[in-house]
Each structure stands twice: as structure tokens, then as C-alpha cells.
């Protein structure tokens, strides 16, 4: 019984010591670092209409996309671009 109490107290002390350790500061890379290359992201407006046209879900997905943006709906144009209605 004494061993279990001693083990519980030792475990509690170890837990307190582990939580009290300071976190080392990380070196942050400056924004204008010459060795880090910026990735260019391409925004393609026709992703919804092009990718889902295979399963004929393109107009439905475009309308859902426009509804989430606050428009009244939308459709895919002849150039496979999602056009939202006002």
C-alpha cells in the first residue's frame, strides 16, 4: 500500500515537472528571406464546371457554389465558367 502511494506521488511530481518546462523559442524565417521561394497559386474559375461535367453534376455544383457565396444560383456557360445570378 505504501508503495502504491509513493508511486502515485512520484507520478504526480513528474507530471508537474514535465508541464513546467519552458518552451524554447523557434527561429522565425523573415518574410523577405532570399532562400524561400514563393509558390504561385492559380485560381481557375472553371474548376467546378470542368471537373464535374463528366458526371453531369456541373450545373448543380455551380449553383451550390453560387448559393454559398450569397447569390441566387448559377449555371455553367459555354466556356465552362461558373456564372452566378444576382
Q: What is the mean pLDDT of residues 49-75?
A: 81
76 near 58, Cβ under 8 Å?
yes
The pTM score is 0.44
Cβ-Cβ contacts under 8 Å for 79 (sequence gap 6 or more):
46
- The owner of cell 444560383 is 73
CATH of 46-85 given 1.10.3470, 3.40.50, 3.30.30, 3.30.1490? 3.30.30
In the chain, what are the domain boundaries? 46-85
Q: Is the pLDDT of residue 24 over 80?
A: no
Cβ-Cβ contacts under 8 Å for 39 (sequence gap 6 or more):
none
Q: Is the pLDDT of residue 76 over 70?
A: yes
Closest CA to 57 of 37, 38, 82: 82
Q: Is the pLDDT of residue 14 over 70?
A: yes
Q: Is the pLDDT of residue 23 over 80?
A: no
Amino acid at each position: 500500500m505504501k508503495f502504491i502511494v509513493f508511486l502515485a506521488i512520484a507520478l504526480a511530481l513528474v507530471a508537474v515537472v514535465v508541464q513546467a518546462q519552458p518552451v524554447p523559442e523557434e527561429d522565425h524565417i523573415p518574410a523577405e528571406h532570399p532562400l524561400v521561394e514563393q509558390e504561385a497559386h492559380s485560381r481557375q474559375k472553371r474548376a467546378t464546371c470542368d471537373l464535374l461535367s463528366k458526371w453531369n453534376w456541373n450545373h448543380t455544383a455551380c449553383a451550390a457554389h453560387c448559393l454559398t457565396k450569397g447569390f441566387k444560383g448559377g449555371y455553367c456557360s459555354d466556356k465552362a465558367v461558373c456564372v452566378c445570378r444576382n
